[in-house]
Structure 1
Amino acid sequence: MEKFEELISSEVPVLVDYYATWCGPCKMMHPVLEDLKARLGDKMKIVKLDVDVPANRQSVYTYQIQSVPTLMLFRKGQMLWRQSGVVRLNELQGIVEKYINN
């Protein structure tokens, strides 16, 4: 968990994708996140956390992840945005870009 806390403390926005390998909507988010990374490059980080992996359980409990996919955007250790379910690329890009230069 400490490594996760260090990661989300970055000056660069960090988009965390809580997902499960068995989750259909999570599979739909994968190409969206790849396209977002291609568009924004080093202006942001994307971290994928499988909710079924024991090493991620503390984070899942801490942030009360109850459904997947759940996307959370952090910067300097603070959660800036959170949403569960599939998010379209243009909408997600608009959300992240609001925090890139702030």
Structure 2
Amino acid sequence: MSDRNEIRREKLEELQKKATDGGATEAADNPSEPVHVESGEHLDKLVTEGGAVLVDFYADWCGPCKMLEPVVEELAAETEATVAKVDIDQLQQLAQRYRVQGVPTMFLFADGEQVEQMVGVKQKDKLRSAIEQYA
């Protein structure tokens, strides 16, 4: 339990630092690192801004999610897509809205429309190929 609280504390500090930096990471058209979604409205804004958006629904306690995390970070840095991460424990209603029943679950949006849904750990090449199809 204390590990989860420590992770949340670190994430909160990271978000606060980004806020004091003027949100420079999110201000870029294609952030080079994953964007941590703060609300349903925040996700809606990311999705409707256009282009390809890969949304990773995850949980801190999820082993497969931890395995997928470096892949998601690499895709954010290496592709034109915006990569967003949704913590299902913090944003339960958002996970319910998208009918997420297991993690990791990823959605790919193109020009504001959902084009793919992937459940479980996927290979980097498969994810890159899906992104490039719509980027």
Q: The TM-score by the shorter chain falls in which range?
A: 0.7 to 0.9
Residue 7 of structure 1: CA displacement?
1.3
More relative contact order, 1 or 2 (CA 8 Å, 6+ apart): 1
How big is the alpha-carbon RMSD for the aligned residues of Structure 1 and Structure 2?
1.1
Residue 9 of structure 1: CA displacement?
0.8
Residue 6 of structure 1: CA displacement?
1.5
The answer to whether the 8 Å contact 2:75/2:83 transfers is: no
Per the normalisation by structure 1, the TM-score is 0.88
The residue that corresponds to 2:51 in the other structure is 12
The reply to whether residue 51 of structure 1 matches residue 88 of structure 2 is: yes
> Following the alignment from structure 1 to structure 2, what is the Cα–Cα distance between the partners of residues 69 and 15?
12
> Following the alignment from structure 2 to structure 1, what is the Cα–Cα distance between the partners of residues 134 and 105?
18
The answer to whether the 8 Å contact 1:16/1:47 transfers is: yes
Per the normalisation by structure 2, the TM-score is 0.67
Residue 3 of structure 1: CA displacement?
2.4
What secondary structure is seen at the aligned counterpart in 1 of 2:56? strand
Gaps of 5+ in 1: none
Which one-letter code corresponds to 1:9 in the other structure? T
Aligned positions, number: 96
What secondary structure is seen at the aligned counterpart in 1 of 2:108? strand
Tell me which structure has the larger Cα radius of gyration: 2
> Following the alignment from structure 1 to structure 2, what is the Cα–Cα distance between the partners of residues 97 and 73?
11
The answer to whether the 8 Å contact 1:10/1:75 transfers is: no
